[in-house]
Amino acid sequence: MNKTDLPFLSAAELSRLIAVKEVSPVEATEAYLERIESHDGVLRAFVTVTADDAIQAAKTAEQEIASGNHRGPMHGLPVAVKDQIYTKGILTTGGSPVFNNFYPTEDATVIVKLKEAGSVVLGKLNMTEFATSGLSHQFDPPRNPWDLERSTGGSSSGSGAATAAFLCASSLGEDTGGSVRFPAAWCGLAGIRPTWGRVSRYGVMPGVRSMDTIGPLGRTVEDCAITLAAIAGHDPKDRMSSSVPVPDYRQALTGDIKGLRFGIVRELLYTGLVEEEIRRSILDAADTLRAMGARVEELSIPLAANAGAINGAIRVEAPVTYQDLLRDRPQDIAHDNRIAYLASSIMPSPYYYKGLRLRAMVRDQVIAALDSVDLLLSPSTGVAAQPLGPDPAIDSKAASSRIPWLLATTFSLANVPAMSVPCGFTATGLPIGLQIAGRPFDEGTVFRAGHAYEQGTEWHSRRPPGFDR
């Protein structure tokens, strides 16, 4: 196979070729580095490219595999990670110039796990400041490969751009209120927020600590499955990480969803937050699932309509984390974060505790809904990728465009696994995402449904014009 074709393979396809020694990890890494060199000047997906370290890791992987020591599906795969994740001796900015000279002295647990799996880390990916803004960047914002004048969504913005433009095999993002699913939807990718506690957050800069969750983005559901399997599991360094066993998620990718019960959440579909073109694509996806043998019905989660306000009350945790910076150097915080932090810092404490009680009620309603169905469906976002603009100001003609990530917030509050998969394109050629949520620690069923839908449609196989060769 021609080296320049390697980045266009899915991570899972590339993994299989590496395992049987048809492709060298060094070859694959060089191919990705060449694409980064050619395209990232426009895309702005990376903050730091670690080319020398990547080549050395690829050589090590090649030697290990050649000697019969193949570690698993991530061995030799070139990946990239959000710049919120500590990497020993490598600049880690959290999307802010405040940390322009921060070089961690240890790796985050997810980096340790990637290295143990034999992965090759290509570099650190751009993001919105502190991962607490959906759209505003302190650095030059990444461009959406489907339209360079549009946003990728955030906060894992570089993860969306790099993965969609074939600059890495898969990537890690972090999802608080939708920051993996949001860029996955706008960039035409699969992306999963696993159950809170499934993946360690040790060595991850906090946003809203009680909701922050590391998750993968990939060009296919299988890519996400093998990446998540590599980073999941209990970590003694993160006391909130779960000891629930991590299965081999690939075993769930049967392609068969006959008899699975899906519930479309009315409050997340029939709302002014969702444009008609998006709504129609979700209903079409539901019809596709029915044709594949699934049962699909509509149901209600009443508090989903208030998820944004509840989330807003809880996000007071972010200005508490950065209170010294907010007090001493507020001018160094981007405008939208600064305003949000200042407002949250004067919020009466009873509001925060009421937010926590309401979050518990949201979780109860989501779990109750999942007693009657196996999975929940909704749009990942209510609008497709919006034009890049100053600060968070995007198209103000539609109220929905000001809060495009709120549809993901319900499942963040409930701390259940939720995934975005491509389910169509707008008339102007922009991707649309279908959100699938499941029971706590049942990522396998979410993957099963997402993979079956993906393989039964052609949406995931399209390439962004200009980045398709």
As a whole number of angstroms, the distance between CA 249 and CA 222 comes to: 8
Residue 467 lies in a domain: no
Residue 251: name the closest of 438, 451, 20, 71 by CA.
Answer: 451
Residue 123, phi-psi category: left (phi > 0), alpha (psi -120 to 50), beta (remainder): left
Q: Quick one: pLDDT at residue 402?
A: 46
Q: Quick one: pLDDT at residue 401?
A: 42
* 210 contacts: CB under 8 Å, gap ≥ 6: 314, 317
**What secondary structure letter does DSSP report for 431?**
E
- Rounded to an integer, the average pLDDT of 304-309 is 94
Q: Quick one: pLDDT at residue 133?
A: 81
Backbone phi and psi for residue 378, each to the nearest 5 degrees, phi listed first: -165, 170
Are 216 and 191 in contact by the 8 Å Cβ rule? The answer is yes
Enclosing H/E stretch for 65: helix 51-66
> What total number of domains does the chain contain?
1
Q: Quick one: pLDDT at residue 96?
A: 96
* 20 contacts: CB under 8 Å, gap ≥ 6: none
Say what angle helices 11-19 and 221-231 make with each other, to 10 degrees: 70
The DSSP-derived string for 213-282 is EEEEEESSHHHHHHHHHHHBS--TT-TTS--SPPP-GGGG--S--TT-EEEEEHHHHSSTTS-HHHHHHH
Q: Quick one: pLDDT at residue 405?
A: 65
Residue 160, phi-psi category: left (phi > 0), alpha (psi -120 to 50), beta (remainder): alpha
Catalytic residue among 155, 156, 200, 401: 155
The pLDDT tens digits of the residues spanning 252-292 come to 999 999 999 999 999 999 999 999 999 999 999 999 999 99
Here the tokens at position 122 are 């290509």
Catalytic residue among 24, 119, 136, 179: 179
The DSSP-derived string for 332-388 is GS-HHHHHHHHHHHTS-HHHHHHHHHHHHHHHHHHHHHHHH-SEEEEES-SS-PPBP
Residue 469 lies in a domain: no
Residue 210 lies in a domain: yes
Residue 466 lies in a domain: no
pLDDT band at residue 65 under the 50/70/90 scheme: very high
The pLDDT tens digits of the residues spanning 124-147 come to 999 999 999 877 899 999 999 999
Known catalytic residue: 397? no
Q: 185 is in which domain, residue-wise? A: 3-461
Please say if the pLDDT value at position 78 is more than 70: yes
As a whole number of angstroms, the distance between CA 337 and CA 95 comes to: 12
How many angstroms separate the first and last alpha carbons of the chain?
14
Known catalytic residue: 378? no
Known catalytic residue: 420? no
* 52 contacts: CB under 8 Å, gap ≥ 6: none
* 373 contacts: CB under 8 Å, gap ≥ 6: 261, 262, 263, 297, 299
Residue 468 lies in a domain: no
The mean predicted confidence, pLDDT, of the chain is 95
Q: What is the dihedral of CA 191, 195, 201, 207, to 10 degrees?
A: 70
The pLDDT tens digits of the residues spanning 216-254 come to 999 999 999 999 999 999 999 999 999 999 999 999 999
pLDDT band at residue 53 under the 50/70/90 scheme: very high
Whether a cis peptide bond, with omega within 30° of 0, leads into 401 is no
The pLDDT tens digits of the residues spanning 375-408 come to 999 999 999 999 997 654 444 444 334 465 689 9
Q: Quick one: pLDDT at residue 207?
A: 92
Q: Quick one: pLDDT at residue 335?
A: 86
Residue 209 lies in a domain: yes
As a whole number of angstroms, the distance between CA 439 and CA 149 comes to: 37
The pLDDT tens digits of the residues spanning 338-369 come to 999 999 989 899 999 999 999 999 999 999 99
Residue 430: name the closest of 158, 150, 177 by CA.
Answer: 150
The pLDDT tens digits of the residues spanning 3-32 come to 999 999 999 999 999 999 999 999 999 999
CATH assignment of the domain containing 91: 3.90.1300.10
% pLDDT > 90, the chain: 92
Catalytic residue among 10, 15, 24, 82: 82
297 forms bridges with which residues in the sheet? 263
Q: Quick one: pLDDT at residue 404?
A: 59
Residue 285 lies in a domain: yes
Say what angle helices 221-231 and 109-116 make with each other, to 10 degrees: 110
Q: Quick one: pLDDT at residue 136?
A: 80
Are 259 and 295 in contact by the 8 Å Cβ rule? The answer is yes
- Rounded to an integer, the average pLDDT of 151-180 is 97
